[in-house]
Amino acid sequence: MSVSKEVSKQKKILVIKLSGSVFDFKTTSKSLKEYAQVLLDINTKVQPVVVSGGGIIARHYVNLARSLGSDESSLDEMGIEISRLNAMLLSAALGDSVYPVIPSNLEEITIACQSGKIIVSGGLHPGQSTNATAALICEKIKADRFLNATDVDGIYDSDPKKNAKAKMFKEITIKKCLDLLNNESTQAGNYELMDIVAMKVIERSKIPTYVIKSDPNVIRNIIMKNRQSGTKITV
């Protein structure tokens, strides 16, 4: 057995859904290197599997294509391709420490995990958000936990960007979370926080899940210093 496989077996696997807000028109090489350094740091304790969101760039393309008459399935495919481009960008910042191929399905993810390297993926299946993709990856590879790193610092009782008095939950049950999500849109490009498909996967597989701020220091402190942050989703 190779050393990398031995290391992979010793480490718990952590799935991180990285907000598409990390990849926008203002993204710099410096900001990507900061995320890469965090992944390198935490890789001493866990094996990270990162799912890159599509973000504003994906929404720009999807909305433009929708206005030109593209169907929702084609728009999903477009969003997946852009999330994979984002994954390629982050992989470039990780150098030799990253698995050299962007996986295109769950089986490839499973094989990649045997390498012991950091794995970076984008979307996989049309009709699924990258949140749902990350949850399915957790289920498939039996990940230790799922960090959904978003552009807000947890789950609120209303949109904190629109309501200054919105209150953040330290913990929230699946049922309560589903109640909050019932009005979410399922159109391509509209997945903001955690969609119903992702929640159902989390529920059935009892995946320990946390919604946190997509910030390098927050991610580092959770793993390296065992600090609590964001919202814990309880099954």
Distance CA 30, CA 25 (A): 14
Tokens read off for 109? 């993810």
pLDDT at 57 > cutoff 60: yes
Q: Which pLDDT value is given to residue 163? A: 86
- CATH number of the domain bearing residue 125: 3.40.1160.10
Model pLDDT for residues 70-97, shown as the tens digit of each residue: 999 999 999 999 999 999 999 999 999 9
| DSSP 8-class letter at 216 | H
Domain, as residue range, for 122: 3-234
At residue 76's C-alpha, the angle toward residues 84 and 32, to 5°, is 25
> For residue range 10-38, what is the model confidence (pLDDT) as tens digits?
699 999 999 999 999 999 999 999 999 99
Residue 182 sits at φ, ψ, to 5 deg, of -60, -25
For the chain, what is the domain count? Answer: 1
Give this prediction's pTM.
0.90
| Distance (Å, whole) CA 76 – CA 91 | 22
